[in-house]
Amino acid sequence: MKKKLLENIILPLGDQLTGGSFIKKLKYWREVCDLSQNELNNLQKEKLSKILEFASSNSPFYKALAIPHSSDPYEWLANFPILKKQQFRDHLSQFLTTNNFEGLTAITSSGSTGPPSKIYFNKEELSSNRALQILWWEWAGYRFGNSILQTGVNMQRSKEKAIKDKLLNTRYISAMSHSEAEILRELRLLQKSPRDHFVAYASSLYLFAKTSLDHGISNIQFKSIISLGEKLLPHFREAIERAFSCQVFDTYGASEGFLIAGQCSEGTYHIYSPHLIVEILDDQDQEVNPGESGRVVLTGLDNFTTPLIRYEVGDMAVKSKIQKCSCGMDLPILGEVIGRQTEFLITPKGKYITVQNVVRIMKHFPEIGQFKLVQEVADRIRLFYTTDEQIQEIDHSKILGMFEEIFEEPLGMEFNRVDSLPKAKTGKFQLIENNLGST
């Protein structure tokens, strides 16, 4: 009853009041899931042709490239250069297809591979992305009216988000500071007031599971758990499913507005091909063979405000050998996502510093390029960073002050300016490296 009320009356009314199209988009994306492989291919081809045509005519950056038009949009796409994050970040205004910012929403990327980027969406584009996210939740068994526990980084909820939390029966808690005592309080609350689904960063989910297992708490169970934002390592998944007696559904997206792949009930990562094109390329920018790993390059098919064509997101992934999933959906399949390895640092008072903590703090310091935190002893964290040559000095005290404000305790931090940071074997810069006990 509540599901019907929300989906047929309350949420459509909300769309009317805000000028959004969330419910309309959700129903559309649900229908797309039932399309055959041939229908999905035709839809993607049609949308690709439209975005290439629009971007080439309306985006100053792509207009200046003057890529020769082709009747085959895939041939046309192949002639576009690979777009690096730094290039996009430095020339954002040249990518935008409008000078009128009224009604647009700016989303800032996570900055996990360098300074964050800003992406603009109009209301329809934003509604489409939000609907796709809910669709992934529905793959995990979510239905409107189910209760949710969700972690996030911004506890200053806007009026619109507070209403959304209320309507969707969501309890929103901070992912920025997890201590064992804080997690135990949340677990005790879950024992008294259970929730149907837990939606959180992979690191948060693991810390909740680890604390639950360490303290012998075995009476908390969810219908499903949805992981986002970070790589879900195998031992994370094992601990989470053991602690909370349910399946974990992992999702893979990029905060530039790409919802790349989500797991179905069979555990397969399905690429949402009508929303984007995923290329997995080798060092010569050629598509890798099935079973091989390569760089993830994305072309968005839904954002006409800030079109991104052949955008290298900074991750590595494996091209799937599997062509068909037993779940019944004909959406293409993605193999393993290699990037976004996750570790934790530990404060003197036992709080966990996660990748999400770090990137959210460092977003406030755009003068810093890439960075990495290393912990080798319990009371000291070393921050290595790069910055432009013309910047003479970085105010380390401000960075330290923000870390200490978030974690509410003194931290021993050392700062090291370097020319470059070494890449991890995954091909990405590993933001956190915990070497406690290894020295």
pLDDT at 356 over 90: no
Is residue 106 pLDDT above 60, yes or no?
yes
**Is residue 158 pLDDT above 70, yes or no?**
no
| Torsion sign over Cα 242, 171, 104, 368 | negative
**Predicted local distance difference test score (pLDDT) of residue 434:** 81
Give me the pLDDT at residue 251, please.
96
Show the CA angle centred on residue 270, arms to residues 29 and 106, nearest 5°: 60
As a whole number, mean pLDDT of residues 139-143 equals 96
Q: What is the CATH number of domain 345-434?
A: 3.30.300.30
Rounded CA-CA distance 432/342 in Å is 7
Residue 149: enclosing H or E segment and its boundaries?
Answer: strand 148-152
Phi, psi dihedrals of residue 184, rounded to the nearest 5°: -60, -40
125 closest CA partner among 22, 28, 48, 54? 22
Q: Is the pTM of this model over 0.85?
A: no
User: By the 8 A CB rule, do 327 and 266 touch?
Assistant: yes
**What is the pLDDT confidence band of residue 134, given thresholds at 50, 70 and 90?**
very high
The helix/strand/coil state of 255 is: coil
> Which residue spans of the chain are classified as CATH 3.40.50.12780?
2-337
Q: Give CATH 3.30.300.30 domain extents, the chain.
A: 345-434
Q: Above pLDDT 70, what percent of the chain? A: 91
Q: CATH homologous superfamily of domain 2-337?
A: ANL, N-terminal domain (3.40.50.12780)
Which uninterrupted H or E stretch holds 76? Answer: helix 73-78
Q: What is the pLDDT of residues 256-294, one digit of tens each?
A: 999 999 999 999 999 999 999 999 999 899 999 999 988
**Is the pLDDT higher at 377 or at 50?**
50
Name the E strands within 293-435. Answer: 293-300, 311-319, 333-337, 345-346, 352-353, 368-377, 380-387, 413-417, 432-434
pLDDT at 438 over 80: no
**pLDDT of 425:** 42
pLDDT at 422: 58
Q: How confident is the model at residue 23 (pLDDT cuts 50, 70, 90)?
A: very high
Long-range contact pairs involving 425-429 (C-beta distance under 8 Å, separation at least 24): 426/316, 426/338, 426/339, 426/341, 427/295, 427/316, 427/338, 427/339, 428/112, 428/113, 428/314, 428/315, 428/316, 428/339, 428/340, 428/341, 429/113, 429/370, 429/372
Give the residue from 278, 323, 307, 271 showing the smallest Cα distance to 95. Answer: 307
Q: Which residues pair with 115 in a beta bridge?
A: none
The predicted structure's pLDDT at residue 439: 44
**Which residue, 31, 116, 133, 130, is CA-closest to 369?**
116
**Weakest mean pLDDT among 126-140, 172-186, 198-212, 307-321:** 172-186
- Identify the pLDDT of residue 428: 41
Contact 386, 368 (CB under 8 A): yes
* 256-278 b/e (C-beta count within 10 Å ≥ 16 → b): bbbbbbbbbbeebbbbbbbbbbb
Per-residue pLDDT tens digits for 365-416: 888 877 889 998 888 999 999 888 888 889 999 999 999 998 889 999 999 9
| Token output for 30 | 């649900």
C-alpha span between 201 and 359 (Å, rounded): 13
Tell me whether strands 118-121 and 105-108 are parallel, antiparallel or unpaired: antiparallel
The confidence band for 427, taking pLDDT boundaries of 50, 70 and 90, is very low
